[in-house]
Structure 1
């Protein structure tokens, strides 16, 4: 189990993160994939017959019209990738009851994406939002030195009060328009899904989108510890609850499960890949399993498509 990230922005913490990520994850991205999210790339390639499960956004309409048979356009793996991070660092991430804060987990996720994509001329940029103030835009630049500067900005401990407008943060990745790349949204997604679902769907229509959700186990269930005073870090409001009441704990767990189910469904309908990281689990192992599962699913789909093509011919 990797040690917790820690709540400091010291260069030693970032160096430690880079070492952990390089040791555990570096080998995952060898071969045709140049980003954390295995995908088909964006350079146009050949066409082949459509089969169930193909992305309809890649339909090759000219070939389909000529042959009267649905075709999809295959794509080549990019030799250069531009990745943009949308990092939500609202006050709600200053919470954690396990191995680290949610904010530390967000930094770890950003470090993993950054260190594993800033290679071979790849560029990484970020839009970082804290509290109710305007988000800070860090232009996409190549090189590890620029990546370290980006992570130092994300690791800054200054978190003013207020709620981050997640929809506006996601929408900021559209401006200015960019060629197809990878967009990574890191948040706890506690804002109502109806606020950010549409901007995320719009983003996924042009880019490969990875949504990294960070959460703490106490957001899913309450412990039986008697009277508990809870503070909303964004509004400053406090409330006392009697956690010894089993019906209260059951209602809380049901409401939390419904909320997480709504988040998962919204991300799925938007077309985003979904990676959930918890403060009480091995976040590096979770990333490894996620990348491996995505690769297995894509390779299985490609194999099925090849088999169908052979049957047709």
Structure 2
């Protein structure tokens, strides 16, 4: 009796699955994969029609220049097919089917239709997900590149701005204007650079503040235009507002010295000073000691904004 039990146990242990069952399972697997690929590709095709994209990929090159290939809608098709295969592994959790369940028998029509639905949904959603991800990565790369460019520009522009500032402090206004001009030519207009050029021009146009009749009116007006351009670059650049007021005050003194109609009024100057003070309150103290405003400090309009 014990011998019989041993024989039965040994027989059960050595039993192998029939060959035709394994073959059927492989056939089912191939059918499932084919259905998933085709339905996923169709879903990707649908996404490509709804959201056309060039689907550009870059190829590696040792020369340093990476050639690009635009796959067009075929990129969406391939993406959809790949996404459907990837989503297959989530099928049990999302769609209540598992590939193992299909390997024991030929897939029935209901199961095949379910797989088709999974593939199409995966193709559409996979294409949308990857395209959005690619767009975000592209924006991130562009932002990083922009920051790197700004750092490179500032590494060259910064020393030139400091040089111009040192020259202004030494009253070397012509040399400072030349440096600002080089910065403008190389890096383009900014409020700081345009105001620097205008300020240098203003000092050169009025070298003798005690004799306003000798002021170079043309250059003072040119400086005013530069300050206006600076404010178009940055409306909150307080130095442009301050120097605009100073230039208008100089032109007002020149008009009085020449006995001609002034191009600006005290009210015009006061408005510019209000802006300069609002943006930088410490300008109040500078205005009280600045010789450019010495002859108008007693005017009630100016007194009002300084108190």
TM (norm. structure 2) is 0.20
Higher relative contact order (CA 8 A, sep 6+): 1
Going by fraction, where is helix more abundant, 1 or 2? 2
Going by fraction, where is strand more abundant, 1 or 2? 1
Q: Whose radius of gyration is greater, 1 or 2?
A: 2
TM (norm. structure 1) is 0.20
